[in-house]
Amino acid sequence: MNIILLGPPGAGKGTQASRLVADHGMVQLSTGDMLRAAVKAGTPIGLQAKAVMDAGQLVSDEIVSGLIGEKLDSMKPDEGAIFDGYPRTAAQAESLDGILASRGRTLDHVIELEVNEDALVDRITGRFSCAKCGEGYHDRYKLPKVAGVCDVCGSTEFKRRPDDNEETVRTRMAEYRAKTAPILPIYEARGLVKRVDGMADIEQVSAQIEAILSGK
């Protein structure tokens, strides 16, 4: 199964993708995570992307589509893909069609996480993650079970993203409205769009996604 998780910054794409990885053995393809890894490693792509990401703008279509193609090539044919934060423009949606077709894959669902934008700044500015394994947390909505200790790997080091400040979040939301939301009709015309209430709590959002995947 190949699915896209679509929604604005803070909608819960990464949170839900990591649950699908754990529960179904699918593979998460997050262009944001790939770009952050490139920035950290200081690769040419990372050097090019850093300032754009820090400003909350979109990295070039060629770079992100290249990253997605490479990642898919590293996967086994029977492993399902969760596209998290990709595609984000009409050009990326078109590239994805070619990328999937050339690898004999088809898109099963485009799951839109519907959220109230007013709540997103709060979600994003409260976000942090484990510095070792990347598990995501939130200051109020998802704290580690033991304070200061990662539930998954036991690390005591956490980090916050440099683009998780209010000013950058506003730019990221504007980019979403202007460039990403307009790709929904492309997928609606193909009957692929399924909507879930992204304002529900994390467990309930997962349950809605599970119902879609199981065809209920």
The residues of the shown chain that bind ligand AP5, judged by CB under 6 A, are 7, 9-15, 31-32, 35, 52-53, 56-59, 64, 85-86, 88, 92, 123-124, 126-127, 136-138, 141-142, 172, 201-202, 205
Question: Which residue's beta carbon is nearest to the bound ligand AP5?
Answer: 32
Catalytic residue among 13, 19, 50, 123: 13
| Catalytic site residue from 103, 132, 160, 161 | 161
Cβ of residue 214: shortest distance to ligand AP5, in angstroms?
Answer: 20
Whether 195 is catalytic: no
| The three-state (H, E, C) secondary structure of 112-171, written as one string | EEECCHHHHHHHHHCEEEECCCCCEEECCCECCCECCECCCCCCCCEECCCCCCHHHHHH
Give the integer Cα–Cα distance in Å for 132 and 170.
28
Q: Which does 9 bind (CB under 5 to 8 A by kind): Mg ion, ligand AP5, none?
A: ligand AP5
CB 57 within 8 A of CB 27: no
- Scanning the structure block, which residue is given the tokens 């200061």? 148
160 annotated active-site: no
* Residues at the site binding Mg ion, with contacts judged by CB under 5 A: 14
Residue 142 designated active-site: no
What single-letter DSSP state applies at residue 58? P
Is 2 within 8 Å of 107 (Cβ atoms)? Answer: yes
**Smallest distance, Mg ion to C-beta of residue 112, A:** 15
Least distance between ligand AP5 and beta carbon 140 (Å) = 8
Q: Is 13 labeled as catalytic in the residue annotation?
A: yes
Question: Locate tokens 């070039």: which residue?
Answer: 60
Distances (CA, A) of 143 to 32, 59, 150, 162: 22, 31, 9, 20
Is 190 marked active-site? no
Contact by Cβ (8 Å): 155, 134: no
Nearest residue by C-beta to Mg ion?
14
**In terms of CB distance, is 11 or 77 closer to ligand AP5?**
11
Provide the token pair at 5. Answer: 């998780």
Look at residue 27 and give the partner it binds from ligand AP5, Mg ion, none, a contact being a CB closer than 5 to 8 Å depending on partner kind: none
Residues marked active site are found at 13, 88, 127, 161, 172
